[in-house]
């Protein structure tokens, strides 16, 4: 009997120690241990992947505006990041399906200074190209809210990349470079036509020669295409232009229709790079805007495509698209990167997807490709789970900050793993640089959990888990002081007559024995959100469920990003 009691006591002590994982509390700092994520979208559960196939999207979650280039057998892909730092992830692949992040274009604060821009400002529509004449990679992009368009260069896409070379003579947005086979270079962009716009959203595609030695434009700037496919139909937002040379033609391919439900891709061609460019009579070559909104598993908002030819001579397109969970096009996870093969018509026009067809989410693997997304380092597709403990003592590439950090406020813990984050005088409702580290939500049905150690000192102190869409639309589950007692609180941001305030949805007092160790959980399923917590050896306790997930949708919150799952600490809540 005595031995049984000793065993029971030892087991109890072990269980207690297991739940009290991590270091001791430190005033003014929160410690975050494990971050656990599980994606569980119904489509992937109901449609197991057959042999020789792959899932779209190839990059799930907030990976919009893809651009791609190739050097030999290596492909490189980039995406927009708006006000997040480091900016513009760089991915590498050898088969177009399996991608591994190898760095960021803008990974030094002097390259991207952003301390007060709205979330959906910042870095728009990067375009990456390889120039075989000087064996150099180029990236052009727009910094909306600052000095406009710039170019950076690198010998290795993994970096380092140069500091921005600003292009004040290139107005508008969405610059991209084209390197002709005679060594000449040209820069395209989207801006107003050469006369006052005829309607809201009336834009034109312009081009000018580019000096790759001096990294500047020269010569006349000319309009290649005014207004898009058919000016009489008042097409809006002709943007994201690229040029390709094939079959004796220059193909000009921009998007039009805006980046929402009417998004599309169109194509024009000319024997002369300066035009005139004839329009493909069956434009658009990619859109989903004509399809039944009540169709199962819809893919919407398709456009902003870039074409690439593989070494076998086959052509593919990367493009952005969305996976809404309502017929009204509500989606929370942002615009994602999809891949489709391109076919050519008998009269030599490229077509990404014939009109009336749905974007497939299961496709044949390209030649020589295999499914490697579950290998370490490769981006995962379909449903998956992972745990991040920050054991490498550095921020993994898929994590980032909101705006550019101007001081050091996070520290890794070699003894306990995890990361310490300082409570600072900034909150997520402000246009400041908060103590916030986030990663992308990549499924609509998902669970995220964090382990945290935190003892607030004042009612303004808060630390916890955030589901963040922008300054005015985010939900925080955290720990703070209420009437001098520790509470778990659930709060959201709300725009009230032009001022973004916090609204407390639930507050639960923690026991007096609370040591600061707590686990926080958010669940998203079938368009509903639930938030839970647990301390010590307790089971998960519900804070609040039944919250409408559409609150965090782009359709409701507006903007260009997807939901970011983050660890957050503030002394000014």
> Structural domain boundaries of the chain?
22-40+383-570, 51-364
Identify the weakest region by mean pLDDT among 130-134, 260-264, 367-371, 568-572: 367-371
Q: Return the minimum-mean-pLDDT range out of 193-197, 375-379, 403-407.
A: 375-379
Kindly give the residue spans of alpha helices, DSSP state H, lying in 139-283.
none
Residue 511 has pLDDT above 70, yes or no: yes
Q: Which of 34, 41, 65, 461 is catalytic?
A: 65
Is 256 catalytic? The answer is no
Give the CA count within 13 Å in the CB-facing half-sphere of 130: 17
DSSP labels for 341-389?
Answer: EEEE-TTS-EESS-TTPPPPSEEEPPTT----TTSTTBPP-SS-EEEE-
- pLDDT tens track for 255-305: 999 999 999 999 999 999 999 999 999 999 999 999 999 999 999 999 999
**Which pLDDT score is estimated for 398?**
97
What phi and psi, each to the nearest 5 degrees, are found at residue 14?
-65, -45
**pLDDT confidence of 498, banded at 50, 70, 90?**
confident
Provide the percentage of residues in the chain whose pLDDT is more than 70.
96
Handedness of CA 523, 525, 530, 533 (dihedral sign): negative
Contact 61, 337 (CB under 8 A): no
Asked if 54 contacts 365 with a C-beta cutoff of 8 angstroms, the reply is yes
How high is the pLDDT of residue 17?
Answer: 39
Q: Which of 569, 567, 398, 565 is nearest to 467 (CA)?
A: 565
User: Which stretches of 20-157 are DSSP H helices?
Assistant: 42-46
Q: Mean pLDDT, to the nearest integer, of 6-20?
A: 39
Residue 232 DSSP label: G
Q: How much is the average pLDDT of 110-118? A: 97
Count of C-beta atoms within a 10 Å radius of residue 290: 10
pLDDT the model gives residue 9: 38
In this structure, are residues 87 and 159 in contact, taking their beta carbons and an 8 Å threshold?
no
Catalytic residue (choose from 239, 310, 461, 573): 239
Q: What are phi and psi of 148, to 5 degrees?
A: 95, -130
> What are the tens digits of pLDDT across the range 28-53?
999 999 999 999 999 999 999 999 99
User: How much is the pLDDT for 21?
Assistant: 63
User: What is the pLDDT averaged over residues 133-143?
Assistant: 97
- Is 239 a catalytic site residue? yes
Rg over alpha carbons for the chain, rounded to the nearest Å, is 25
Closest CA to 455 of 534, 518, 390: 518
- What is the CATH architecture of 51-364? 5 Propeller (2.115)
What pLDDT is recorded for position 18?
39
Question: What tens digit of pLDDT does each residue of 513-550 get?
Answer: 999 999 999 999 999 999 999 998 899 999 999 999 99
Pairing relationship of beta strands 268-270 and 278-279 according to DSSP bridges: antiparallel
For 183-229, the pLDDT digits (tens) are: 999 999 999 999 999 999 999 999 999 999 999 999 999 999 999 99
- Please state, in angstroms and as integers, the Cα–Cα distance from residue 345 to each residue in 158, 181, 413, 424, 573, following that order: 37, 24, 58, 59, 59
For residues 449-471, give the mean pLDDT. Answer: 98
Contacts 24+ apart (CB under 8 A), 197-202: 198/227, 198/231, 198/234, 199/234, 199/236, 200/236, 201/234, 201/236, 201/237, 201/258, 202/227, 202/234, 202/236
Phi, psi (degrees; rounded to nearest 5) at 555: -60, -30
What CATH number does the domain located at 22-40+383-570 have?
2.60.120.200
Half-sphere exposure of 46 (CA within 13 A, CB side): 6
> Measuring CA to CA, which residue among 379, 340, 388, 442 is closest to residue 62?
442
Looking at every residue in the chain, the average pLDDT score rounds to 95
Phi, psi angles (nearest 5°) of residue 9: -65, -45
Per residue in 340-358, pLDDT (tens digit) is: 999 999 999 999 999 999 9
Q: How far apart are CA 504 and CA 221, in angstroms?
A: 54
- DSSP assignment of 510-551: PPTT--SEEEEEEEEETTEEEEEEE-TTPPPEEEEEEEEGGG
Q: What is the mean pLDDT of residues 85-100?
A: 98
- Residue 42 token pair: 């119904």
Structure tokens at 539: 């089971």
Inform me whether the pLDDT recorded for 3 exceeds 80: no
Q: How far is CA 398 from the centre of its chain?
A: 10
What is the C-alpha to C-alpha distance for residues 83 and 40, in angstroms, rounded to an integer?
28
**Predicted TM-score (pTM) of this structure:** 0.95
Q: State in Å, rounded, how far the first CA of the chain is from the last one.
A: 53
Listed in order, strand segments (DSSP E) in 19-172 are 29-39, 53-55, 67-71, 74-78, 84-85, 87-93, 100-106, 122-131, 136-144, 148-154, 165-166
The pLDDT value given to residue 535: 96
Residues 6+ positions from 57 with CB-CB distance below 8 Å: 63, 321, 323, 336, 337, 338, 339, 361, 381
- Give residue 373's pLDDT: 84
């Amino acid at each position: 009997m005595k031995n049984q009691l000793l065993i029971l006591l030892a087991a109890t002590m072990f269980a207690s120690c297991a739940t009290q994982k991590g270091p001791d509390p430190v005033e003014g700092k929160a410690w975050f241990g494990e971050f656990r994520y599980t994606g569980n979208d119904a489509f992937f559960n109901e449609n197991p992947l057959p042999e020789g196939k792959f899932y779209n999207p190839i990059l799930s979650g907030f990976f919009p505006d893809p651009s791609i280039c190739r050097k030999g057998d290596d492909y490189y892909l980039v995406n927009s990041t708006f006000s997040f730092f480091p900016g513009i992830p760089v991915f590498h692949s050898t088969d177009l399906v399996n991608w591994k992040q190898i760095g960021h274009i803008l990974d030094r604060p002097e390259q991207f200074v952003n301390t007060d821009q709205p979330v959906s400002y910042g870095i728009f529509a990067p375009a990456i190209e390889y120039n075989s004449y000087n064996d150099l990679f180029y990236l052009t992009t727009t910094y909306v809210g600052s000095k406009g368009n710039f170019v950076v260069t690198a010998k290795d896409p993994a970096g380092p990349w140069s500091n921005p070379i600003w292009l004040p003579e290139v107005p508008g947005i969405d610059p991209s470079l084209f390197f002709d086979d005679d060594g000449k270079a040209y820069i395209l962009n989207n801006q107003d036509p050469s006369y006052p716009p005829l309607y809201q959203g009336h834009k034109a595609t312009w081009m000018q020669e580019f000096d790759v030695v001096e990294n500047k434009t020269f010569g006349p700037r000319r309009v290649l295409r005014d207004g898009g496919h058919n000016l009489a139909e008042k097409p809006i937002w002709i943007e994201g232009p690229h040029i390709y040379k094939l079959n004796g033609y220059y193909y000009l391919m921009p998007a039009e229709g805006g980046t929402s439900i009417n998004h599309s891709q169109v194509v024009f061609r000319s024997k002369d790079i300066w035009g005139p460019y004839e329009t493909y009579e069956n434009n658009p070559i990619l859109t989903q805007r004509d399809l039944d909104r009540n169709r199962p598993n819809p893919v919407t908002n398709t456009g902003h495509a870039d074409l690439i030819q593989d070494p076998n001579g086959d052509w593919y397109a990367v493009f952005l698209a969305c996976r809404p969970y309502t017929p009204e096009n509500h989606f929370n996870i942002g615009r994602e990167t999809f891949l489709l093969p391109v076919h050519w018509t008998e009269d030599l026009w490229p077509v990404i997807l014939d009109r009336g067809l749905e974007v497939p989410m299961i496709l044949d693997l390209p030649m020589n490709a295999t499914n490697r997304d579950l290998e370490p380092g490769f981006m995962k597709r379909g449903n998956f789970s992972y745990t991040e403990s920050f054991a490498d003592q550095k921020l993994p590439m898929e994590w980032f900050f909101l705006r550019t950090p101007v001081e050091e406020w996070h520290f890794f813990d070699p003894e306990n793993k995890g990361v310490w984050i300082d409570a600072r005088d900034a909150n997520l409702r402000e246009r400041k640089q908060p103590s916030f580290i986030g990663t992308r939500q990549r499924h609509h049905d998902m669970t995220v959990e964090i382990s945290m150690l935190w003892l607030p000192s004042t009612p303004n102190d808060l630390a916890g888990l955030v589901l963040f869409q922008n300054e005015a639309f985010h939900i925080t589950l955290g720990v703070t002081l209420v009437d001098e007692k520790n509470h778990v609180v659930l709060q959201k941001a709300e725009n009230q007559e032009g001022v973004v305030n916090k609204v407390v949805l639930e507050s639960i007092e923690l026991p007096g024995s609370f040591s600061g160790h707590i686990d926080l959980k958010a669940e998203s399923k079938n368009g509903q959100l639930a938030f839970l917590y647990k301390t010590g050896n307790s089971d998960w306790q519900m804070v609040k469920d039944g919250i409408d997930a559409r609150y965090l949708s782009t359709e409701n919150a507006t903007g260009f990003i997807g939901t970011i799952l983050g660890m957050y600490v503030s002394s000014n809540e």
